Chain A
Amino acid sequence: MAVCGESGDTTQFSEYIAKNVHLYKMKNDYELSPRASANFTRRMLADSLRSRERYNVNLLMAGYDEVEKKAELYYMDYLASMMELPYCAHGYGSYFVLGCLDAYYKPDMSVANGYELLKRCIAEISKRFSINLPTFSVKLIDKDGIHDQEPIHARQLVI
């Protein structure tokens, strides 16, 4: 899960979800599927929305479904709207990045091509966005779990 939004809320909310997903595994001997986890997270966000203090977090949740044998990506915002998407982005940078993704995304991209597409998006942000976002950490999620990838540094990219 990648979170952005109100500082503090982000950590609190993401850790709460992570521990609850783990508790489910302990209690029921099997893991929640990505779809179930995403829906659970959305429910938590929705409940908090109409309560005393809402969680001001936007997030992207990625997972690999062992049963369906496919990877899934969920987009969720602080109003608890959720969508399963092939590509998505949060934040002001998303205005620039979504066009890039629209143009260059293909459903059957390889890992290397996907990484290149990420680089392209970050190059776009570093060129067009007024705030300097120098470094991006990257994680790959596949059937073997979560793997750290080489971080992307904006200044090393060819624009």
Chain B
Amino acid sequence: MGSAKYDRAITVFSPDGHLFQVEYAQEAVKKGSTAVGVRGKTCVVLGVEKKSVAKLQEERTVRKICLLDNHVVMAFAGLTADARILINRARVECQSHKLTVEDPVTLEYITRYIAELKQRYTQSNGRRPFGISCLIGGFDFDGTPRLYQTEPSGTFHEWKANATGRSAKTVREFLEKYYSPEETDTEEKTVKLAIRALLEVVQSGGKNLELAIMRHGQPLQMMDVERIDEYVKEVEKEKEEEAEKKKKK
């Protein structure tokens, strides 16, 4: 296989223009548990699939939604250890920015910073890329909600709603079908959309989801399990009603 010769030192291009290490990093992301982000009118919702923990493991130590600053939250899919490094650097940068320019970071700035950091690791000798894809959400200083996604290659884009990790394609297709400004004009609708999207690929139940809601000017709210269960039940009921209607037709 021609690729075997070109994936050792990642500074090397393959003959057909691929950076194989970066592509392998993207494969690592596809193995991680799903994360979904939805930008609503008044809030940004991030949801992650909670992997089942071993019997003896303390559940609360598995954290996939992290606060970078008071107004910026990040969820990721991929290698958790890599994520920790990026999160620490991003947190320091958030404070450093406030120290030098007196203003909190904009979402675009901190996403660009993380993306640049990721890119640096795709162009140095002896280092491998970060094996994570991040969903960064929050509110800019002027109150605009934003959602960005970064890839291991170091690219970033703004999204209205997106998913990453295992079965991201299924979730994204669902979001493409059902996302609209009307479906996300209230907080409740946005949360419901995020949960519905995640439930496409995650086992039903509040225990398997972790949800965070970011509102402008307010601290991050991690939804508690009971609330998630309530939403899940509502979503299931709606699904059943829809299925009934289709049958009658």
- The prevalent SS among residues of B at the interface is helix
- Say if the beta carbon of A143 comes within 8 Å of chain B: no
- A26 close to B99 (CB less than 8 A): no
Chain A residues with Cβ under 8 A from B92's Cβ? 23
A18 to chain B, nearest CB (A): 9
Name the interface size band of chain B.
10 to 19
- Say if the beta carbon of B203 comes within 8 Å of chain A: no
Chain B residues with Cβ under 8 A from A16's Cβ? 99
- B98 close to A26 (CB less than 8 A): no
- Say if the beta carbon of B119 comes within 8 Å of chain A: no
- Say if the beta carbon of A70 comes within 8 Å of chain B: no
A96 to chain B, nearest CB (A): 36
- Say if the beta carbon of B95 comes within 8 Å of chain A: yes
B91 to chain A, nearest CB (A): 5
Give A27 to B68 CA distance when docked, in angstroms. Answer: 8
Q: Could you mark each residue 1-24 of chain A with 1 if its beta carbon is under 8 Å from any beta carbon of chain B, else 0?
A: 000000000000001100110110
- B98 close to A19 (CB less than 8 A): yes
Which chain B residue shows the least CB distance to A15?
B99
Give A15 to B99 CA distance when docked, in angstroms. Answer: 7
- 20 A–B contact pairs at CB < 8 A? A15-B99, A16-B99, A19-B95, A19-B96, A19-B98, A19-B99, A20-B95, A22-B95, A22-B98, A23-B91, A23-B92, A23-B94, A23-B95, A26-B67, A26-B68, A26-B69, A26-B91, A26-B94, A26-B95, A27-B88
Please list the residues of chain B having a beta carbon within 8 angstroms of any beta carbon in chain A. Answer: 67-69, 88, 91-92, 94-96, 98-99
With A22-B98, A26-B68 given, can you name 8 additional A-B contacts, CB distance below 8 Å?
Answer: A15-B99, A16-B99, A19-B95, A19-B99, A20-B95, A23-B95, A26-B67, A27-B91
